Every structure is written in structure tokens, then in C-alpha cells.
A and B are shown apart, each in its own frame.
Chain A
Amino acid sequence: MKLDVPSDLGMVGDAVELVASHLPPGTLSPRRISFNLRTALAEALGNAIRYGNGEDPDRVVRIRVELGRDVVRIYVVDDGAGFDPSHTPDPTSPENLEREFGRGLFVIRHLVDDVAFNEKGNGICLTLRAG
């Protein structure tokens, strides 16, 4: 499945539902789809639109979904310059706990089985395995 999403934060919810509702039954447990996949994809897509594409209406975010026997991989790629994912502060440290922003990658890493970035830093791959 491939999906191009306009750089409009208001589209995140609909795009997430479109992807989640098109996964074949049995690929992942309903609970993993309803919570882990939806939350992680909303994070990745929101980050791509806001920080990657700067909400520029002339840019799109590309989503590609790959299905394996017991695995789902979701690639989310924006048109931005990329970023270094190794330099993100710990949102659970006392000095960051009351900050409004900065939890996105932390949440993604806890909800999926594997997270990978492309070399440029403008693409993320979310891997969720069955079970």
C-alpha cells in the first residue's frame, strides 16, 4: 500500500485510519492495530508534516506499507532536510517532564518492535511483529 498525505496536520487521523483499516485480518492483533500501530503512525506522520515538511502545502509525506507473514513495516518519508534521531532529550527526566513537546520519538520507540531511519534522516521505518 502506498499513500501520499498532504502536509496538513488535520489529515493525520484520517490517514492513520486508512492504513489501519486496510491491514488484512490476522496480520497483527486487533489491540496492536488499534493502539500501537495507530499511535506510532500518528506520531511519525505528525512529525513528518510539522518538522519535516514544515506544514508546507506544496510538500507531501509518503507512506508505504509492507506486509510480511508475521510483520508489518511502515515507511514514512517527508521532503525535509532530515534530522539526527540520536540527539533527542529524554522526556522523562525531571527537567523535561513538564515540557509540552519532545515525547514523539520516545513514544514511537516504546510502541513498535523496531525503529529505523534512512541515512538522510527524513524517513522512518516502523516495524511491528505479530504476537
Chain B
Amino acid sequence: MRFTLKKDKSGVVVVGVEGQLIVGNRQELKQKVLDALEDGSRKFVIDFSKTGYIDSSGLGVLVSLSKKIREQGGELRLAGLNADLQTLFELTKLDTLFSITRTAEEALAAF
């Protein structure tokens, strides 16, 4: 499991989640995003195209990050969910809280 952060030319931070986002690594993701927020970034895309599974702690950290980013006038978007992950967001109704796009490129274009 690994998290990658890249800032595109328009200043949007794209976070890649490789493997899984679960109780054991969610704090690492949270800290990386909060550090970028502290450094002035306001637009974020989390790309799940290389993610196998997400547990409820992972979902919870996304909710928490979204709130913190919104409080700073920014926005968090999600992208690249496979069919199972999309279903997970729908059954928890978190699809109503987030802007979700098919790919990270689509999320970037929509900012």
C-alpha cells in the first residue's frame, strides 16, 4: 500500500491510493493531505484507480478530510472507483457527499 501526491500545473493535488485504504494506514493519508492543505493547496483529487478495497475507517477519513478542506474554502473530489467501491459509496450514501468522477483527468477538468 502506498500513497502518492502530485500537484498538477493548475495547483490541484492528485493523491493516488495503491492497495487499500483501511484502519491501519488511514492516518498516513490524512496527514499527507493535511500537510498539503497547511502548505496552501485547496483543490484535491483522490484517485482510487489502483485501490483494491476501502474499509469504514478509510471512508471516515475521507469524510473528515472533505470537511476540513471545505472549511478552508477548498474542495475534495474522488475518482477512479471500480464497480465494487462505487457500490460501497452508494450503500453508505457517501456518493451524495462527494463529487465522484470516472477518472482523475475528468475530476481535474471539472475544477
Contact = CB atoms under 8 A, between A and B. Distances in A.
B92 interface: yes
B67 A98 contact: yes
B59 A42 contact: no
Contact of B24 (A11, A36, A43, A103): A11
Interface residues of B, number: 27
B96 A97 contact: yes
Interface in A96-111: 97-104, 106-107, 110
Contacts of A10: 24-25
Nearest to B82: A35
A46 B55 contact: yes
Contacts of B92: 91-92, 103, 106-107
Interface of A: 9-13, 16, 31, 34-36, 38-39, 42-43, 46, 49-50, 91-92, 97-104, 106-107, 110
